[in-house]
């Protein structure tokens, strides 16, 4: 009981240190391992010793004040609580390990003081070695281990993996060597991908024998054989307008390179070209296409592209016509296929711009004849192809159906409503009814005879008179009739025009003498409407001249409306000798012209005026022009007049040549510039 109390008191007096203290040294250096405790004054016997544990040995190196190795010394002052171990010329093989200082109670062996050291004799590790090498070829998806190892380091070094360009260490399996004779390894396990091709991984080794910022580094670069990466384009989906060209592009990135590519559609082989061209795209070409490639690594690379064929709306209806009874409700469905979907579907009515109904179904309630007509289903979509030029095109599709409402025809109408025909030509009359009637009516053409009875001329919407004449003038009637009844009759009055036709024409040639009296020309023509007459001389109209001419025109209308026109041109007037005699100037070509809305008719006469052989006496030289007017004639000119003319002209170059000695002379004059004395 007394012994136990003593031990307890001793234990309280000493300090037991159970944790290891790390101590570093280097080969050949001296190092002191301190063992300090509280001094004791008891009479109890205490035991002091140092023990060492390393790969070489596990034994005491000092007992009491006696060291057990020549390189070990003791600073032993138990009365001061000092029991230090001094190691000189430190050696890795001898000193690298764990040291323990113990103070034990005599008799019981109880630990009164324990102090532990881990002494590390620092040595620099060797350069790291990487297995399987500094350039490694790997296959995508196949796990690969990269091992970095280093020997010779004390303590065991840190071995870390980094990806080049990153400061964050990678997760790796670390295995410490435990001594400098055994490698410390870090194994990096990767499953390489395409992104790791040409990547560089760095192994860094460091322990306390090295400066803080100095690392031992080795690198390894990867060459990754990767599966084919397939890209399709130029866009996906590829939007192409129908009937245009589509080019499906396929590019492959692979290592090693692929020998070729394959285009398939629905499992069916199409082509081995990188660019698959469809020269004229149809709707049936729309769908998914697959480009695939392989490079011997056991995995096929492939990608799908969708060909989106754009096309204008295709509009279909159940029939071209639809028949309905008056009072019924009508529903007509319009079927539309389009890509992209139409932005609008609507119904319009031909000839009725105000009618418009949205939606794909035409709905008409309580139909009547006015609802008859052609209805058009119209769809619009917007097409935006992928390829340039990028633009939005509005496309329209439509289809029509004739809605036929059963009804009798309405009032007929004949066109033209005021027909006019030319005699001898053809004329066509066209008959329609509003409403037109359904079933389709029969059109009947007829005239009312003098007995009041109709005479059927023809059936059909058109009636043609091939050779119109005045006898075909009159009222023509048309009426439409179907199984539901007759429509209201229409009538027009056909007027036949007649071009002017001569009843009396001018003689082609007439010869007269100067001075012949009471000469006249007469023309007569018949035409409808009334012809207008005019007289021309040498293609120039004769204007009213009471001094030279007198024109008298008479009109007489026949029973059929034709007008007979008779016109007389009389050569009479105050300027003529005796008021009615012909002059040399009357010679020329005379034309009587009759013209109405149909035609112009003309008759011409060549009037010749012969010279008069009786000499004409003129008092003045200037009277020669009047006397001659271009005709040859005999004149007598006085001597005094010849002299006066000579004086006026200043020479003898007068129109009348002759001797001034005679009182007067005869001369034959051809024209005003030349004369011959006779």
Could you read off the pLDDT of 235-292 as tens digits, one per residue? 999 999 999 999 999 999 999 999 889 999 999 999 999 999 999 999 999 999 999 9
- How far is residue 39's CA from residue 44's CA, in Å, rounded to a whole number? 13
Together in a domain, 31 and 110: yes
Together in a domain, 541 and 602: yes
Residue 302 lies inside a defined structural domain of this protein = no
Residue 250 lies inside a defined structural domain of this protein = no
Residue 517 lies inside a defined structural domain of this protein = yes
Mark which of 69, 100, 122 sits at the end of a domain: 122
pLDDT score of 166? 92
Together in a domain, 6 and 111: yes
Residue 254 lies inside a defined structural domain of this protein = no
- How far is residue 656's CA from residue 676's CA, in Å, rounded to a whole number? 8
Together in a domain, 118 and 7: yes
* Full domain range(s) for residue 320: 311-406
- The CATH number linked to 380 is 2.60.40.10
pLDDT score of 423? 84
pLDDT score of 656? 40
Residue 650 lies inside a defined structural domain of this protein = yes
Total structural domains in the chain?
A: 6
Pick out the chain residues at pLDDT < 70: 1-18, 41-42, 389, 544, 546, 612-678
Together in a domain, 444 and 339: no
Together in a domain, 106 and 19: yes
Together in a domain, 624 and 600: no
Phi, psi of 390 (to 5 degrees): -75, 110
Together in a domain, 111 and 193: no
pLDDT score of 1? 40
- In the structure encoding, which two tokens stand for residue 80, read together? 């001061």
pTM assigned to the model: 0.55
Mark which of 469, 497, 525 sits at the end of a domain: 497
pLDDT score of 451? 87
Mark which of 357, 390, 406 sits at the end of a domain: 406
Residue 354 lies inside a defined structural domain of this protein = yes
Residue 248 lies inside a defined structural domain of this protein = no
Together in a domain, 116 and 192: no
Count, residues in the chain? 678
DSSP for 389-458?
A: S---EEEEEEEEEEEEEEB---EEEEESSS-EEETTS-EEEEEEEES--BSPPEEEEEEE-TTS-EEEEE
Together in a domain, 50 and 133: no
- How far is residue 48's CA from residue 115's CA, in Å, rounded to a whole number? 12
Together in a domain, 136 and 118: no
Angle (CA) 215-216-218 rounded to 5° is 125
Residue 461 lies inside a defined structural domain of this protein = yes
Residue pLDDT, tens place only, 310-356: 999 999 999 999 999 999 999 999 999 999 999 999 999 999 999 99
Together in a domain, 570 and 543: yes
pLDDT score of 677? 40
pLDDT score of 91? 93
């Amino acid at each position: 009981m007394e012994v136990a109390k003593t031990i307890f008191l001793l234990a309280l007096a000493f300090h037991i240190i159970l944790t290891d203290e790390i101590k570093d040294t280097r080969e050949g250096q001296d190092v002191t391992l301190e063992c300090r405790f509280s001094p004791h004054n008891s009479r109890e016997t205490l035991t002091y010793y140092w023990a060492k544990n390393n790969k070489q040995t596990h034994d005491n190196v000092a007992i009491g004040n006696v060291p057990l190795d020549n390189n070990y010394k003791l600073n032993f002052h138990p009365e001061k609580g000092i029991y230090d171990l001094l190691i000189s010329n430190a050696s890795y093989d001898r000193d690298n390990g764990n040291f323990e200082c113990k103070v034990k109670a005599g008799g019981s062996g109880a630990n009164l003081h324990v102090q532990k050291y881990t002494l590390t004799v620092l040595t620099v590790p060797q350069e790291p070695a990487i297995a399987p090498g500094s350039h490694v070829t790997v296959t995508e998806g196949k796990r690969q281990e990269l091992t970095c190892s280093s020997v010779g380091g004390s303590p065991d070094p840190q071995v870390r993996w980094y990806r080049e360009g990153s400061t964050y260490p990678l997760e790796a399996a670390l295995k410490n060597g435990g001594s400098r004779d055994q490698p410390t390894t870090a194994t990096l396990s990767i499953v390489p991908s395409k992104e790791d091709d040409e990547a560089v991984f760095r192994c860094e080794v460091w322990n306390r024998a090295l400066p803080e910022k100095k690392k031992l580094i080795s690198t390894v670069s990867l060459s990754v054989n990767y599966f084919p990466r397939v890209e399709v384009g130029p866009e996906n989906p590829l939007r192409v307008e129908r009937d245009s060209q589509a080019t499906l592009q396929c590019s492959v990135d692979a290592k090693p390179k692929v020998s070729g590519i394959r285009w398939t559609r629905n499992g069916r082989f199409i082509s081995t070209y990188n660019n698959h061209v469809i020269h004229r795209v149809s709707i049936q070409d729309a769908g998914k296409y697959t480009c695939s490639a392989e490079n011997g690594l056991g995995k096929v690379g492939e990608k799908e592209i969708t060909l989106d064929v754009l096309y204008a709306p295709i509009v279909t209806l159940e029939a071209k016509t639809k028949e309905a009874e008056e009072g019924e409700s009508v529903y007509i469905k319009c079927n539309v296929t389009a890509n992209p979907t139409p932005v609008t579907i609507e119904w319009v009515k031909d000839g009725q711009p105000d009618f418009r109904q949205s939606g794909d179904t035409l709905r008409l309630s309580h139909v009547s004849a006015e609802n008859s007509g052609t209805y058009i289903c119209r769809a619009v979509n917007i097409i935006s192809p992928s390829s340039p030029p990028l633009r939005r095109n509005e496309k329209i599709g439509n289809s029509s159906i004739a809605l036929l409402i059963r009804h009798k025809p309405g009032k007929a109408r004949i066109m033209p409503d005021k027909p006019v025909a030319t005699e001898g030509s053809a004329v066509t009359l066209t008959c329609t009814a509003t409403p037109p009637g359904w079933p389709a009516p029969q059109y009947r053409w007829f005239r009312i005879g003098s007995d009041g009875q109709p005479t059927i001329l023809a059936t059909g919407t058109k009636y043609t008179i091939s050779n119109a004449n005045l006898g075909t003038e009159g009222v023509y009637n048309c009426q439409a009739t179907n199984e539901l009844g007759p429509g209201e009759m229409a009538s027009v009055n056909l007027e036949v025009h007649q071009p002017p036709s001569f009843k009396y024409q001018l003689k082609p040639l007439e010869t007269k003498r100067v001075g012949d009296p009471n000469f006249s020309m007469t023309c007569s023509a018949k035409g409808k409407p009334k012809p207008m007459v005019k007289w021309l001389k040498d293609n120039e109209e004769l204007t009213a001249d009471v001094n030279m001419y007198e024109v008298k025109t008479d009109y007489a209308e026949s029973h059929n409306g034709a007008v007979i026109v008779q016109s007389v041109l009389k050569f009479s007037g105050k300027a003529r000798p005796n008021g009615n005699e012909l002059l040399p100037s009357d010679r020329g070509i005379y034309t009587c012209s009759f013209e109405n809305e149909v035609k112009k008719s003309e008759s011409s006469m060549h009037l010749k005026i012969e010279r008069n052989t009786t000499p004409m006496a003129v008092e003045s030289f200037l009277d020669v022009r009047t006397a001659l007017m271009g005709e040859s004639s005999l004149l007598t000119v006085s001597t005094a007049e010849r002299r006066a003319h000579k004086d006026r002209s200043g020479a003898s170059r007068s129109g009348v040549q002759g001797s001034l000695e005679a009182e007067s002379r005869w001369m034959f004059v051809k024209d005003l510039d030349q004369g011959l004395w006779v």
